[in-house]
Amino acid sequence: MPLHKNSGRIALLAAMALAAITACERAPRDQTVTVYSSRSHYGAESVFVAFTRATGIKVEFFEGNNNEVLERLKSEGERTSADMLLTVDAGNLWNAAEQGLLQPVESKVLTANIPAHLRDPGNQWFAIATRVRTIMYNPKRVDPSELSTYEALGDPKWKGRLCLRPSSAIYNQSLLASLIAIHGEEATERIVRGWVANDPIYINGDTQILEAMAAGRCDVGITNHYYLARLLAKDSTLSVAPFWADQGGAGVHVNISGGGVTRHAKNRAAAIQLLEYLTTPEAQGLLASSSFEYPANPAVKPHPLLARFGSFKAQSVGVAAAGAHQAEAVRLADRANYR
Options 31, 46, 71, 121; binder of another protein; rule CB under 8 A: 71
Binding mask 146-185 for another protein (x = CB under 8 A): --------------------x-x-x--x------------
Q: Which of 175, 123, 153 is nearest to 330 (CA)?
A: 175
Question: What's the chain's Rg over C-alpha atoms?
Answer: 22
Please check whether residue 204 is in contact with residue 166, taking contact to mean a CB–CB distance below 8 angstroms.
Answer: yes
Site membership for another protein, residue 5 (CB under 8 A):
yes
Site membership for another protein, residue 30 (CB under 8 A):
no
β partners of residue 302: none
Site membership for another protein, residue 334 (CB under 8 A):
yes
Binding mask 97-136 for another protein (x = CB under 8 A): ----------------------------------------
Where does this chain touch another protein (CB under 8 A) — which range of 15-23, 121-129, 134-142, 266-274? 15-23
Q: Which of 319, 327, 322, 323 is nearest to 126 (CA)?
A: 319
Site membership for another protein, residue 96 (CB under 8 A):
no
Encode 56-92: b = buried (16+ Cβ within 10 Å), e = exposed: ebbbeeeeeebeebbeebeeeeeebbbbbbbbbbbbb
Site membership for another protein, residue 327 (CB under 8 A):
yes
Options 28, 75, 145, 311; binder of another protein; rule CB under 8 A: 75
Site membership for another protein, residue 66 (CB under 8 A):
yes
Report, in Å, the least distance between residue 39 CB and another protein.
9
Please check whether residue 175 is in contact with residue 133, taking contact to mean a CB–CB distance below 8 angstroms.
Answer: yes
Nearer to another protein, 246 or 293 (CB): 293
Site membership for another protein, residue 52 (CB under 8 A):
no
Site membership for another protein, residue 289 (CB under 8 A):
no
CA 81 to CA 110: how far, in whole Å? 24
Options 52, 55, 76, 155; binder of another protein; rule CB under 8 A: 76
Site membership for another protein, residue 22 (CB under 8 A):
yes
Q: Which of 158, 176, 180, 178 is nearest to 167 (CA)?
A: 176
CB atoms within 10 A of CB 23: 8
Site membership for another protein, residue 237 (CB under 8 A):
no
Where does this chain touch another protein (CB under 8 A) — which range of 69-77, 181-189, 282-290, 297-305? 69-77
Among positions 188-217, residues that touch another protein (CB under 8 A) are: 201-208, 211-212, 214-217
**Burial of 328 per CB tally in 10 Å (0-12, 13-18, 19+):** middle
Report, in Å, the least distance between residue 248 CB and another protein.
31
CA dihedral 137, 292, 308, 148 (to 10 degrees): 40
CB atoms within 10 A of CB 31: 12
Handedness of CA 329, 193, 117, 279 (dihedral sign): positive
Binding site for another protein (CB under 8 A): 1-5, 7, 10, 13-14, 17-18, 20-22, 24-25, 27, 34, 38, 40, 42, 60, 62-68, 71-72, 75-76, 79, 81, 95, 166, 168, 170, 173, 201-208, 211-212, 214-217, 227, 326-327, 330-331, 334-335, 337, 339
